[in-house]
Amino acid sequence: MKKVLCVMSDQFEELEAVGTIALLRRAGIAVDVCSMKGKEATGRFDLTLSHLLHFHDVPMEDYDALFLPGGPHYATLEKSEIVTQTIRSFIDQEKLICAICAAPTILGRMGLLKGKRYTCFTSMNEDFGGTYVDAYCVQDGNIITGRSAAAVIDFAFLIITQLLGEEKAQKVKQSIYYEQSA
């Protein structure tokens, strides 16, 4: 079974976190959610997730992908040495890194988007040394980026496709009656 680790702190973007987690789990991917501050995290719209793992207690080697939802919490994640070390470890092991909205800026400021195609919340795009793409989702190698909360469904399906294949992604799309607009 494929496993994804979602890292969050207070002020995460609920739609990006919960929507992605729900679709990944619907596909049969195990998603562990961990908090930087203990056993819970409260989103920017006051939705509190509880019974979370504490980031420091998670065996990172158990995961195939790292998921960073967006929202104002990205600044807390970016300042955390253990989070940036974890991101580098996943990159070094060529594991999947998935970041949406504000979270790709963490990767950009770490220099991980140099020479890469990526997207992020448009107003947060800086010169990261890569090519910003005006699209909901972009994959370049083992990095998947999403633009905003509006991209959640396409972002999650890109992760599912990468981890489990197109056939599984199509089955999940059918199960929720998802039809991508032309």
| 67 lies in some domain | yes
- How high is the pLDDT of residue 158? 98
Enclosing domain of residue 131: 3-175
Report if pTM > 0.75: yes
- The answer to whether position 119 is within a domain reads yes
Q: Is residue 147 part of a domain?
A: yes
Q: What is the pLDDT of residue 17?
A: 98
pLDDT at 132: 98
**Residue 180, domain member (yes or no):** no
Question: Does residue 61 fall inside a structural domain?
Answer: yes
| Residue from 37, 91, 39 nearest 60 by CA | 91
What backbone phi and psi angles, to 5 degrees, belong to 77? -65, -45
Within a domain: 118: yes
Does 55 fall in a domain? yes
Per-residue pLDDT tens digits for 115-144: 999 999 999 999 999 999 999 999 999 999
**Average pLDDT estimate for 97-123:** 98
Query: Structural domain tally of the chain?
Result: 1
What would the 3-class secondary structure string for 74-113 be? HHHHHHCHHHHHHHHHHHHCCCEEEEECCCHHHHHHCCCC
The CATH number of whichever domain residue 160 belongs to comes to 3.40.50.880
Q: What is the pLDDT of residue 55?
A: 85
Q: Over the stretch 139-179, which tens digit does the pLDDT of each residue have?
A: 999 999 999 999 999 999 999 999 999 999 999 999 999 98
For 20-79, write each residue's pLDDT tens digit: 999 999 999 999 999 988 899 999 999 999 999 998 888 889 999 999 999 999 999 999
Q: Tell me, yes or no, whether 181 lies in a domain.
A: no
Identify the pLDDT of residue 181. 59
